[in-house]
Structure 1
Amino acid sequence: MVRPIAGATRSFHHYLSCHTLPPRAGPPIWRTMPHTTPARPLWPALKRGMAGYCPACGGGRLFLRFLKPAAACAHCRQPLDGHQADDFPSYIVILLLGHIIVPLMIEVNYVFDIPLGWQTAIWPSLTAVLAIALIQPVKGAVIAYQWARRMHGFARGGSA
């Protein structure tokens, strides 16, 4: 049996009823905010970004070097330096590689009897090759997502 605390005269529900805010009158805040900027198409932008092209037009190259984005598109002049794709592409690649390599290791070890020395050479090498192959498309997709959703430096206008 639960005994009440000595000196406690009010319940927790009474405390909540006294210390809550009254309901807000009018429509929800997200419905009252004006949408002045047109939406940018997400999926075509992601496809262009993963292919390494400008998310706005698909004509210019997104990267000057392996992971160095261009300051602006050479074709449509869309500024591309407003992105903040710092470490997030690397986290996505690590997540993807974990879901690819670990089941592959388990299945290969189940089916084949590969010596441990060979495995210590195969799996890190395969992981490094896949990481290098995935990092640029993933970074392009992150930049394209930020462009399509007008995040960070892409919110200040540019082409629609």
Structure 2
Amino acid sequence: MSVRTITGEERPLARSMIRGAVCKCPNCGEGKLFRSYLKVTETCSACGEALHHHRADDLPPYVAIFIVGHLLVAIILHMEMTWRIDPLTYLYTMLPLAIVLPLAMLPSIKGSIVGLQWSLRMHGFDPKHRDPADPDYP
């Protein structure tokens, strides 16, 4: 699926989300998307695309917790049905995984959501429909 404007400019959804997932600019795929762990850059250093319009907010943590929760529950159920395991083993293995895995996933998930918003021209990414709350609004 790609979004085409009246001028014919395409913004392919899958390509934009993949570029965001690898923490690159959804427009050019060259510039860095983040200036720190989860802070999105104001503009792309390679193509100059404004990226500060994003509103990823709470969706990336929800997606990360959803994925990790399902993964860990499946692992715990498999271990419980296959072997007899001491409950402390779960504490020593699953608790660190429950903390580390979402934190490792967050930048990629947030990048793909920024790519989704850019591709669908949400939250000020459409030059014809800027958000009045945006500081760059004319």
Shorter-chain TM-score range = 0.7 to 0.9
User: Structure 1: how far apart are the matches of 2:83 and 2:104?
Assistant: 26
Amino acid at match of 2:108: P
Alignment of 1:139 with 2:110, yes or no, is yes
User: Structure 2: how far apart are the matches of 1:52 and 1:114?
Assistant: 39
Alignment of 1:116 with 2:87, yes or no, is yes
User: Structure 1: how far apart are the matches of 2:28 and 2:10?
Assistant: 15
Amino acid at match of 2:24: Y
Q: TM-score, normalised by structure 1?
A: 0.73
State the 1:97 CA deviation: 1.3
Match of 2:27 in 1: 56
Instruction: State the Cα RMSD in Å.
Output: 1.3
1:1-160 alignment, distance < 5 Å: 36=6, 38-156=9-127
State the 1:48 CA deviation: 0.6
User: Structure 1: how far apart are the matches of 2:66 and 2:94?
Assistant: 16
Q: Which runs of 5+ in 1 are unaligned?
A: 1-34
Higher share in helix: 1
Percent identity between the aligned chains? 34
Q: Which has the larger radius of gyration?
A: 1
User: Structure 1: how far apart are the matches of 2:12 and 2:126?
Assistant: 15
SS for the counterpart of 1:154 is coil
Equivalenced residue count is: 123
Q: Which runs of 5+ in 2 are unaligned?
A: 129-138
Amino acid at match of 1:150: R
User: Structure 2: how far apart are the matches of 1:153 and 1:108?
Assistant: 47
Q: TM-score, normalised by structure 2?
A: 0.84
State the 1:45 CA deviation: 0.8
Higher share in strand: 2
User: Structure 1: how far apart are the matches of 2:85 and 2:104?
Assistant: 25
Which segments of structure 1 move beyond 4 Å, counting only runs of 4 or more? none
SS for the counterpart of 1:98 is helix
State the 1:121 CA deviation: 2.1
Amino acid at match of 1:55: P
User: Structure 2: how far apart are the matches of 1:105 and 1:138?
Assistant: 24
Amino acid at match of 1:119: Y
